[in-house]
Amino acid sequence: MIVGKLKDIKEIKDSLPDDIDSLLIAGCGSCVSVSLAGGEREADSLKELLNLYYQSKGKSVSIETETIKRQCDDEFLDELELPVARNQVVLSIACGVGVQHLAINNPGKIILPGLDTTFYGRTSDIGKWEEMCHGCGKCILDQFAGVCPVARCSKSLLNGPCGGSQDGICEVDDSIDCGWQTIYDRAEELGQLENLLDFESPKDWSTYKDGGVRSHKNPEFFQE
């Protein structure tokens, strides 16, 4: 799932125009709701906080919230049409995808991001998420005992670990588990250590950032 984190309130406040008179906070009811950052509750409390702020500055700004199922698909945006139209500025607390999809559908409207899209991750504890995948476009989990070297090794090494792996901890930060230690541990459990002995040749990164902006089609819906 896409994981996000609400932006620092000061950053949000600074990003809003000085002459603002009306604001729509648009929440998203899928991924970022699950990561407790961009759903209805967060939209509501952000509204109350900004209300309090503008009130303390003696400014009158009307703020409303609307949370839809997904901001990244056209059909759900219908529900946002009127609220977007009647407000000067929109602060979207969906992921970066949602913010842009909203912008594409609302030319001429200022659409600001209220959330930092952090990564694709899993929930590892209440209120805690961990990065698992970079979306490299060519999944190689099968060769690494199901542990992603691209996302879970801090240096994305395909031949690891590096010399900075100490007692299962990554040298980049004490709080990071060494991805390669995890790869070895799991490979050992699965009896696949052999697989790791071969040199891994460089990955084809053209499916990732090297190939430029990515898009793809499902052939069932398109004829070449």
* The one segment of 35-43, 84-92, 189-197, 202-210 that binds another protein by CB under 8 A: 35-43
Number of residues that bind ligand SF4 (CB under 6 A): 22
Task: Based on the shown chain and the rule CB under 6 A, indicate whether residue 47 belongs to the binding site for ligand SF4.
Answer: no
- Looking from the CA of 149 toward its CB, the CA atoms found within 13 Å total 23
Nearest CA to 111 out of 220, 15, 219 is that of 15
Task: Based on the shown chain and the rule CB under 6 A, indicate whether residue 153 belongs to the binding site for ligand SF4.
Answer: no
Q: What are the start-end ranges of the E strands in 30-163?
A: 62-68, 89-92, 110-113, 115-125, 128-133
The CB-of-99 to another protein minimum distance in angstroms stands at 18
Residues in 104-143 at the binding interface with ligand SF4, rule: CB under 6 A: 133-136, 139-141
Instruction: Give the Cβ contact number of residue 73 at 10 Å.
Output: 12
Task: Based on the shown chain and the rule CB under 8 A, indicate whether residue 60 belongs to the binding site for another protein.
Answer: no
Paired residues of 85 in beta bridges:
none
Residues in 129-188 at the binding interface with another protein, rule: CB under 8 A: none
Dist CA 27 CA 9 (whole Å): 16
Task: Based on the shown chain and the rule CB under 6 A, indicate whether residue 183 belongs to the binding site for ligand SF4.
Answer: no
User: What is the torsion angle, in degrees rounded to the nearest 10, for the CA atoms of residue 212, residue 217, residue 218 and residue 224?
Assistant: -120
Task: Based on the shown chain and the rule CB under 8 A, indicate whether residue 9 belongs to the binding site for another protein.
Answer: yes
User: What is the torsion angle, in degrees rounded to the nearest 10, for the CA atoms of residue 41, residue 43, residue 44 and residue 50?
Assistant: 140
Length of the chain: 224
User: According to CB under 8 A, which one of 60, 107, 108, 126 is a site residue for another protein?
Assistant: 126
Position 48, amino acid: E
Using CB under 8 A, list all residues that contact another protein: 8-10, 13, 29-30, 33-34, 36, 39-42, 44-45, 47-49, 51-53, 55-56, 67, 123, 126
Using CB under 6 A, list all residues that contact ligand SF4: 2, 28, 30-32, 70-72, 94-95, 97-98, 133-136, 139-141, 148, 150-151
